[in-house]
Chains A and B, each alone.
Chain A
Amino acid sequence: MLDDGSSIFSIIALMVLAIFQMVTLLSKGRVASPPSFRTLVVFFLAMALSEWISFSLALWLLALLSFRALREYLSLVDIRLEDRWGILASYLSIPCMFYLIHIEWYGFFIIAIPVYAFLLVPFFVALGGRSQGIVFSVGVLDFGLFFFVFCVGHIAYLLFYSARITLLMIVAITCAGWIHKALKSRPLRLKFLLQLAVVFPLCTGLASWTAIPMGHSAILGVLIPFSVCLGRFTLKELEEDLGIRADRLQPGRGRTIEGLKSYLYTAPIVFHYLRWFLKWGDL
């Protein structure tokens, strides 16, 4: 909406990913694709679709990503038999949520999960009719909804405003995430500084292309590494409890969540920062 003209950068990124995939296939296992590869393909595909074909296609592609992440999360956690209505309600919240983005109703989008879903899901869980363990079930479902529907929904809403800013954010987060992963056993401070060294020039250098004022670009350049560090630190602990380990990733056992790890914290932070300070829409 804010961009002037479509850019071909997302298509170039897609081509790079396609070449990388070819290399992976031809190398017969010597080069392995990182776990965030599929997620990245989905993001760039969504950006290319929204710029060149239609935004709603991209939106429902991201809804599918959100569904896959939530499904994987719910397959990993320990659920009770009585929670089935609650789980059904959480799945149904995905189309509702993305439909709200589709009709551009920001006011309802922002409260749909924290107000209505968080009130309705406990009700549906209580319908199951067994009180033992209900507190944990509600907590588990609310957490999943918040991260895998609400936070992913923010990426989609950012894409609605500007594909360029989304592209910048995704690239920056991906770089920061890779650095974080490469420096596995180093102190958090070093990781942060190195991420800053990559992301800060990226944001400020592309300031004129994304049409974010220079000052805000600089702040974003600090905010993104900071929130990536925060998010990856938090989700590492959560993944450990869920039994996701990088050495035994399988489809359905942490591949999607591992790929989304860096984006979950950063996307809402960047989105709300920009929406507030650049005064998109009425607040």
Chain B
Amino acid sequence: MDALRTALHLFFIRPLLHLLFGVNVVGRENLVGLDRFILAANHNSHLDIFLLYSALPPCRIARTHPVAAIDYFSKPPWLFKAVQFLLQPVWIDREENGIAGIKEIQRRIDDGRSIIIFPEGTRGAAGELEEFRGGVGLIASRNPDVPVVPVYLEGPERAFPKVAPFPLPLWNHITIGPPQRLRGKSRDISARLHAHLEALAEEERAYRQRRMPEPHQPFVVAVIGIDGSGKSTLSRRLAGCFEGDSCFIGDRLELLKDGEPCAAQPLIANEVRKWVGRQAKSAKNLAHYKIPKLAELLLRDRLLSDVYRWYRPDRVFMDGSPLLNMTGWAILYHEDAFNEEVCARAMDILTGNHVRGKRDPIFKQFPELLTLRKLNLTHLHLPDAVIFLDVDPAICVERVTSRGEAVQAHENIEKLTKLGKAYDLVCDVVEKNRPVLRLTGEKSIEQLSQEAVAFIGSAKDETD
């Protein structure tokens, strides 16, 4: 029987794999001279087990057994019989605990046979090494004199991935690592084996062609707050605090390299935005303020795309965020209708994440949203981190009047209090998927920027 099994593997499965898929074995010499071993490999595909058999020395084929889940192969019966005959696996019942399986594996090892085990337990995501289950560590710690051979399979995850209905002829590379004699606790053994496989995987990944470099996405920090809260001062200051290229988008557009301002190519969107911004500032009342301000915000968002494209900064600091400002202002205009849910929905529509039907009640409430969507202007950027400056409106009004410029229509205590509350609501919503820092205005600008820098550092780590 063993002879027939070996012959089937050698003269049928192996040539078939070579002809159809292509098999390249590196490190075959690592298996020579071992009378028994535990083979630990990554598992991505149904091809894996046959590929591993085609890397074994011929004399070992009949004396090596994989560990397999019985519930997966029990139906149909012919499949069970075929697997049983070809591989003689150690069956593991996933319903019960693994004691019986471990005992059976131990029995076969004591019998002088070798074991193939996939420590990930099941076929994982393509090209990624999952966490190891405990079994391999347990077996290895009980048999310290049996070497464990790490094997990395590259290719089966492309040739026959888990979700694919059919296999495709693509090359498979089997890297057999040096045999390891591992001692110690079972958990340590698992961890070390994982590290070994990860090292083999790194080597293999170096061969892969990468289609496109990862798109360069700057980290966008928006500082929001009511007029006169010092948000533009803070964001300008923050832009100078970081190494690398930073960009500040406020009333002016500045590009900073390692904290020093440097010359930048002028952008047309910025010039237009400045002009529109001046129109908004000279508005007599809130009704006249609405349209130019909306246009200014949309242009500011457009400017963000232009900055991405032309300057490629590492970080962008924005004095206000078009999306959040727009939502805040919407709350100001329709104070009665807003709550957290409506706010989240409106932001979903404005970022283009959620496509809602025309009949959605929110459009009846806010016809502006429908107009914006018709104009295809609902692709606003959600900043990666938000800093909210919560300053008492009385102080703000004082600051604004002390600037000596013409006071805008909404810059009185009553309106600014409402606006502050609106921003507070917006921050509650944003907090669900982006980090938000709330700062109160009592502190000095140095303290504020220190806190903000620490926050940005942690937020960036989190996103990476």
The interface of chain A, by Cβ under 8 A from chain B, is 67-68, 71-72, 74-79, 81, 84, 87-88, 91, 133, 136, 241-243, 250-253
- Asked if B166 and A84 sit within 8 Å, CB to CB, the answer is yes
> How far apart sit A141 and B118, CA to CA, in the bound complex (Å)?
34
User: Please, which residue of chain B has its CB at the minimum distance from the CB of A250?
Assistant: B24
User: Which of B158, B170, B211 is the one whose CB lies under 8 Å from A136?
Assistant: B211
B168 in the interface (beta carbon within 8 A): yes
> How far apart sit A26 and B170, CA to CA, in the bound complex (Å)?
33
User: Please, which residue of chain A has its CB at the minimum distance from the CB of B18?
Assistant: A251
A-B contact pairs, 17 of them (CB 8 A): A67-B169, A68-B22, A71-B22, A72-B171, A75-B155, A76-B209, A77-B209, A81-B164, A84-B164, A84-B168, A133-B211, A243-B207, A250-B24, A251-B24, A252-B155, A252-B171, A253-B171
Question: Which residues between 175 and 220 of chain B lie within 8 Å of chain A, taking CB atoms?
Answer: 207-212
Known contacts A71-B22, A81-B163, A241 near B209 by CB under 8 Å: yes
Per-residue interface assignment for chain B, residues 151 to 168, with 1 indicating a CB less than 8 Å from any chain A CB and 0 otherwise: 000010010010110101
B126 in the interface (beta carbon within 8 A): yes
Contact residues in A for B207 (Cβ distance below 8 Å): 243, 253
Contact residues in B for A251 (Cβ distance below 8 Å): 22, 24, 171
> How far apart sit A253 and B173, CA to CA, in the bound complex (Å)?
9
- Asked if B170 and A71 sit within 8 Å, CB to CB, the answer is yes
Contact residues in A for B163 (Cβ distance below 8 Å): 81
> How far apart sit A273 and B445, CA to CA, in the bound complex (Å)?
78
User: Please, which residue of chain A has its CB at the minimum distance from the CB of B25?
Assistant: A251
With a 10 A CB-CB cut-off, give which of A67, A84, A241 has the most chain B CB atoms. Answer: A84
Contact residues in B for A76 (Cβ distance below 8 Å): 209
Contact residues in A for B171 (Cβ distance below 8 Å): 71-72, 75, 251-253
- Asked if B158 and A75 sit within 8 Å, CB to CB, the answer is yes
Known contacts A81-B164, A252-B171, A75 near B212 by CB under 8 Å: no
User: Please, which residue of chain B has its CB at the minimum distance from the CB of A133?
Assistant: B211
By Cβ-Cβ distance, the 10 closest A-B pairs, closest first, are A252-B171, A75-B171, A78-B211, A75-B170, A251-B24, A252-B24, A243-B209, A71-B169, A252-B22, A242-B209
User: Please, which residue of chain B has its CB at the minimum distance from the CB of A252?
Assistant: B171
Contact residues in B for A133 (Cβ distance below 8 Å): 211
> How far apart sit A197 and B212, CA to CA, in the bound complex (Å)?
42
- Asked if A75 and B164 sit within 8 Å, CB to CB, the answer is no
User: Please, which residue of chain B has its CB at the minimum distance from the CB of A64?
Assistant: B19
User: Please, which residue of chain A has its CB at the minimum distance from the CB of B155?
Assistant: A75
Known contacts A71-B170, A91-B168, A136-B211, A81 near B22 by CB under 8 Å: no
Q: A76-B209, A250-B24, A252-B172 are in contact. List 7 more A-B contacts (CB 8 A).
A: A68-B22, A71-B171, A78-B209, A84-B166, A88-B168, A241-B209, A253-B173
> How far apart sit A136 and B210, CA to CA, in the bound complex (Å)?
12
Contact residues in B for A71 (Cβ distance below 8 Å): 22, 169-171
User: Please, which residue of chain A has its CB at the minimum distance from the CB of B21?
Assistant: A71
- Asked if B126 and A81 sit within 8 Å, CB to CB, the answer is yes
Contact residues in A for B161 (Cβ distance below 8 Å): 81
> How far apart sit A163 and B124, CA to CA, in the bound complex (Å)?
51
Contact residues in A for B22 (Cβ distance below 8 Å): 68, 71-72, 75, 251-252
User: Please, which residue of chain B has its CB at the minimum distance from the CB of A68?
Assistant: B22
Contact residues in B for A72 (Cβ distance below 8 Å): 22, 171
> How far apart sit A219 and B100, CA to CA, in the bound complex (Å)?
78
- Asked if B168 and A78 sit within 8 Å, CB to CB, the answer is no
- Asked if A78 and B208 sit within 8 Å, CB to CB, the answer is yes
> How far apart sit A55 and B229, CA to CA, in the bound complex (Å)?
86
- Asked if A253 and B24 sit within 8 Å, CB to CB, the answer is yes
User: Which of B26, B166, B212 is the one whose CB lies under 8 Å from A88?
Assistant: B166
> How far apart sit A86 and B155, CA to CA, in the bound complex (Å)?
18
> How far apart sit A91 and B170, CA to CA, in the bound complex (Å)?
11
Contact residues in B for A253 (Cβ distance below 8 Å): 24, 171, 173, 207
Known contacts A71-B169, A71-B170, A79 near B24 by CB under 8 Å: no
- Asked if B158 and A79 sit within 8 Å, CB to CB, the answer is yes
Minimum distance in angstroms from B127 CB to a CB of chain A: 11
Contact residues in A for B126 (Cβ distance below 8 Å): 81
Minimum distance in angstroms from A124 CB to a CB of chain B: 12
> How far apart sit A87 and B166, CA to CA, in the bound complex (Å)?
11
Contact residues in A for B158 (Cβ distance below 8 Å): 75, 79
User: Please, which residue of chain A has its CB at the minimum distance from the CB of B20?
Assistant: A71
Contact residues in B for A242 (Cβ distance below 8 Å): 209
User: Please, which residue of chain B has its CB at the minimum distance from the CB of A256?
Assistant: B22
Question: Which residues between 18 and 37 of chain B lie within 8 Å of chain A, taking CB atoms?
Answer: 22, 24, 26
> How far apart sit A87 and B170, CA to CA, in the bound complex (Å)?
10
Question: Which residues between 124 and 163 of chain B lie within 8 Å of chain A, taking CB atoms?
Answer: 126, 155, 158, 161, 163
> How far apart sit A94 and B176, CA to CA, in the bound complex (Å)?
34
- Asked if B168 and A87 sit within 8 Å, CB to CB, the answer is yes
